[in-house]
Amino acid sequence: ALVNSTEMFKKAYEGGYAVGAFNVNNMEIIQGIVSAAQEENAPLILQVSAGARKYASPIYLKKLVEAAIEETGLDIVLHLDHGEDFEICKACIDDGFSSVMIDGSKYPLDENIALTKRVVEYAHDRGVTVEAELGKLAGVEDDVKVSAKDATYTDPDEAVEFVERTGVDSLAIAIGTSHGAYKFKGDPKLDFARLETISAKLPNYPLVLHGASSVPQEFVELCNKYGAQIPGAQGVPEEMLRQAAHSGVCKINIDTDLRLALTASIRKTFTENPGEFDPRKYLGPGRDAIKKMVQHKIKNVLGCSGKR
């Protein structure tokens, strides 16, 4: 069934695992992810960004996710990723999403709280759960200096105040991850001490980790071997994600790894079979590559296999 995140996060918190939240943009991506979750009997969050919504047109992704639920009988959360204002959150709630993110992280604390609260009120009246964000993830180009770094990471006391004042269902925190394929210049490093502190101050409260792709070197190398130019791509090591999944982190966001798996596969097909121009012949293997990658995450990284 289409479900909100309440029970899923409660079980994840108690079970010491995380649910994968995968970004979807088309049918093959959805099918690859869903068949992995089905085989692993895993809980699943499919999330749609504003860009995905625009690319596919609002209704298509909703209908594809409905088809996946109908075919598999899985419990799936359909979630808006990084909603930037009240209006897009409202539109998705009205369209039948079961969960939304309001990302007010760029605003000062009081504004972020006011905006989040407004979305929470609208959503909760309709049985929809809400994720918010506090603290800023480093941008791909951001050259965050060590001295300025602390200011962008989530402040634990502010997190407590934020959750109390908004009533939001889950909170995305900044502890050193970032979006995209270039997460670290040197050695990967996350502020686990901060995560522990936040978690200790918010017992039984589900936290969310954005920018959590591991950027498997296997895919980067395949892409580059078959003509891509993505040198130096680096993600969050799987061991760190396992550690996060064992903590209060109940939702781990993955988009970049889907893009890399799909692109590596398509590039390989194009190089090896230059005469091929039937989309099913390259999107099909791409879908298989996504399934394999997601199944690995569910089993070996998130810990949510069999936790449906």
What is the DSSP secondary-structure string of 217-252?
Answer: HHHHHHHHHTT---TT-B---HHHHHHHHHTTEEEE
Which CB atom, from 5 or from 253, has the smaller least distance to ligand 13P? 253
The yes or no reply on residue 79 touching ligand 13P (CB under 6 A) is no
Q: How far is the CB of 179 from ligand G3H (least distance, A)?
A: 5
Catalytic residue check, 150: no
Rounded to an integer, what distance in angstroms lies between the CA atom of residue 202 and that of residue 132?
15
Which positions from 191 to 220 touch Zn ion by CB under 5 A, shown as an x/- string?
Answer: -------------------x----------
Q: How far is CA 268 from CA 32, 153, 187, 224, 278, in A?
A: 18, 39, 30, 10, 15
Q: In this structure, what token pair is assigned to residue 125?
A: 């009246």
Which CB atom, from 210 or from 291, has the smaller least distance to ligand 13P? 210
The HSE-up count of residue 308 (CA atoms within 13 Å, CB side) is 15
Q: In this structure, what token pair is assigned to residue 239?
A: 């061991």
Of Na ion, ligand 13P, Zn ion, none, which one does residue 169 interact with (CB within 5 to 8 Å by kind)?
A: none
Which positions from 21 to 60 touch ligand 13P by CB under 6 A, shown as an x/- string?
Answer: --x-------------------------------------
Please, are residues 31 and 68 in contact by the beta-carbon 8 Å criterion?
A: yes
Q: In this structure, what token pair is assigned to residue 97?
A: 């999403």
Per CB under 6 A, the list member of 5, 23, 99, 129 interacting with ligand G3H is 23
Q: How far is the CB of 210 from ligand 13P (least distance, A)?
A: 3
Of ligand G3H, Zn ion, ligand 13P, none, which one does residue 52 interact with (CB within 5 to 8 Å by kind)?
A: ligand G3H
Which CB atom, from 23 or from 25, has the smaller least distance to ligand 13P? 23
Residue 96 zone, left/alpha/beta (φ > 0; ψ -120 to 50; rest)? left
Rounded to an integer, what distance in angstroms lies between the CA atom of residue 97 and that of residue 77?
8
Per CB under 6 A, the list member of 17, 18, 29, 82 interacting with ligand G3H is 82
At 240, which amino acid appears? M
Q: How far is the CB of 258 from Na ion (least distance, A)?
A: 21
The yes or no reply on residue 154 touching ligand 13P (CB under 6 A) is no
Please, are residues 208 and 131 in contact by the beta-carbon 8 Å criterion?
A: yes
Rounded to an integer, what distance in angstroms lies between the CA atom of residue 214 and that of residue 4?
26
User: What residues form DSSP beta bridges with 172?
Assistant: 133, 208
Selected catalytic residue, list 81, 169, 191, 257: 81
Rounded to an integer, what distance in angstroms lies between the CA atom of residue 224 and that of residue 267?
9
Q: Which of residues 253-292 bind ligand 13P (CB under 6 A)?
A: 253-256
Please, are residues 174 and 150 in contact by the beta-carbon 8 Å criterion?
A: no
Stretch that binds ligand 13P, among 92-100, 216-224, 247-255, 272-280 (CB under 6 A): 247-255
At 223, which amino acid appears? C
Residue 296 known to bind ligand: no
- Give the residues lining the site for ligand G3H (CB under 6 A): 23, 49, 51-52, 81-82, 179, 255
For the annotated binding site, the residues are: 82, 103, 133, 179-180, 210-213, 253-256
- Give the residues lining the site for ligand 13P (CB under 6 A): 23, 81-82, 179-180, 210-213, 253-256
- Give the residues lining the site for Zn ion (CB under 5 A): 210
For the annotated binding site for Zn(2+), the residues are: 82, 103, 133, 179, 210
- Give the residues lining the site for Na ion (CB under 5 A): 18, 249-250
